[in-house]
Amino acid sequence: MTAETSGQESTQLPPETTDASSQSQRPAFVPEQYWDAKAGTLKPEYGEHVQGLERFRTEIESLAGTIPEAADKYDVKLPADFEMPEGYQFSVEGREGLIEAARAAAHKARLPQSAFEAMVGAVAAAEIKQLEADRARIDAEIKALGEKGPERLRSIETALKARLTAGQAESLMALTVSKDGVEALEKLLSSASRVPAETADPARKGAALDQIMKESPVTRLTRIFERQRKAS
């Protein structure tokens, strides 16, 4: 198109441009999924994105305030919402080495107290799961003993406590978690009660029983099986 001015030559005006470079460009800080390229504006979802980032920043700043100043300042406890099954308890007694290592690792990773508690909860949950599996296995073993299974266990416990110290009896009772262990203890106790005739004297008989019960389970089992082999 042309324009004429009195006393001047006509001038050609530049054509209107629709080059894409003249449109609004996406700011570098705006993720592509939140930019409307056609309209050259932000999408409505961008506001929600910004709010989410703000909440995340606030949460991080809040958690940062709970990072202990030293590793030994971590409080070893379960999360407040941890549900402990009935009949179970979680103790840190005897785990000093593990606790020290866990605290050091948590502090190095700059974990807040809540994250450390989550770690403790994960350990407790794993142990409870294992205990439940062990209980199920032991229950199955006891059922395999028949209807008199519980009675047989009580008899073994009574006999062991009558002959051994509490600690020794408890150690041997650990064998009763299996059918084979129960039957082995029953054989050992039966053997101990059948003292040879030459030890009929009460004092000698008691000494013989003490000697038998002080033997290791392997020694006693070997002696019993050897006697049975000779008898057959």
pLDDT single digits (tens) 129-147: 998 998 888 888 888 888 8
Residue 115: Cβ-neighbour burial (10 angstroms; 0-12, 13-18, 19+): middle
Does position 154 have pLDDT exceeding 60, yes or no? yes
pLDDT of residue 120: 94
Backbone angles phi, psi at 218, to 5 degrees: -65, -45
Q: What is the pLDDT of residues 97-117, one digit of tens each?
A: 999 999 999 999 989 999 999
pLDDT at 13 over 60: no
pLDDT score, position 19: 46
Tokens of 149: 């299974």
The model carries a pTM of 0.50
Residue 147, pLDDT score:
87
Query: pLDDT, tens digit, for every residue of 167-182?
Result: 888 888 888 888 899 9
Instruction: Report d(CA 50, CA 121) in Å as an integer.
Output: 33
Query: In which band, very low, low, confident or very high, does the pLDDT at 9 lie, cut at 50, 70 and 90?
Result: very low
Q: What is the mean pLDDT of the chain?
A: 77
